[in-house]
């Protein structure tokens, strides 16, 4: 399915593919006997998970725009989607609410559950620390918490941006 030169991309499949790659890294880290290698794999998984959130949101925005906009608006929207802000919980809520206030409220409720907001903020914070040369320790247990919240957040957003028919 194409539209005026736009190549169809199965956005949900692209997101699942990235998630599968991260799952492999997390599993490998959990089985690694060398503690230094395990630590590096866990840190790498943090970077990938944080990037996964941003890339997935980009896929969702582009998929939504492809389904609901004309080509000029689509071109503009795709350029804007490449310039997403750092997706801390506050920026994420603002971005989602800019599409639909009810979606923003729903995301706010989701993030208020358990420790979702804080865990997401900690994941983003850990990625920033690593990216700027700081050391951060990520245990296997903490990594699985990060992974769980990242997956749940993306699943929550996919139900809005890319609902199944």
The total number of structural domains in the chain stands at: 1
Q: Considering the domain boundaries, does residue 2 fall inside one?
A: no
Q: Considering the domain boundaries, does residue 156 fall inside one?
A: yes
H-type alpha helices, 69-139: 71-81, 89-99, 101-112, 116-131
The pLDDT value given to residue 8: 58
Q: Which residues constitute the domain of residue 112?
A: 11-161
Q: Considering the domain boundaries, does residue 6 fall inside one?
A: no
pLDDT tens digits for range 71-101: 777 778 777 777 777 789 999 999 999 889 9
Q: Considering the domain boundaries, does residue 115 fall inside one?
A: yes
CB 147 within 8 A of CB 63: no
Q: Considering the domain boundaries, does residue 5 fall inside one?
A: no
pLDDT tens digits for range 29-74: 999 999 999 999 999 999 999 999 988 998 898 888 888 887 777 7
CATH number at residue 52: 1.20.120
Q: Considering the domain boundaries, does residue 4 fall inside one?
A: no
Q: Considering the domain boundaries, does residue 58 fall inside one?
A: yes
Quote the mean pLDDT of the chain: 88
Q: Considering the domain boundaries, does residue 31 fall inside one?
A: yes
Whose structure tokens read 């804080």? Answer: 118
């Amino acid at each position: 399915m194409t539209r005026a030169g736009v190549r169809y991309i199965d956005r949900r499949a692209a997101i699942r593919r990235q998630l599968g790659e991260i799952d492999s890294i997390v599993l490998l880290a959990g089985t690694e006997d060398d503690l230094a290698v395990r630590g590096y794999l866990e840190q790498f998984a943090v970077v990938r998970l944080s990037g996964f959130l941003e890339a997935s949101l980009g896929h969702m925005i582009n998929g939504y725009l492809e389904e609901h906009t004309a080509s000029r608006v689509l071109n503009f929207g795709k350029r804007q989607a490449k310039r997403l802000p750092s997706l801390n919980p506050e920026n994420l809520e603002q971005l989602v609410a800019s599409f639909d206030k009810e979606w923003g409220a729903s995301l706010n409720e989701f993030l208020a559950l358990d420790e979702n907001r804080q865990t997401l903020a900690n994941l983003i914070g850990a990625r920033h620390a690593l990216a700027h040369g700081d050391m951060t320790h990520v245990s296997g247990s903490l990594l699985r918490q990060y992974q769980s919240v990242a997956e749940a957040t993306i699943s929550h957003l996919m139900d809005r941006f890319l609902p199944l028919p």
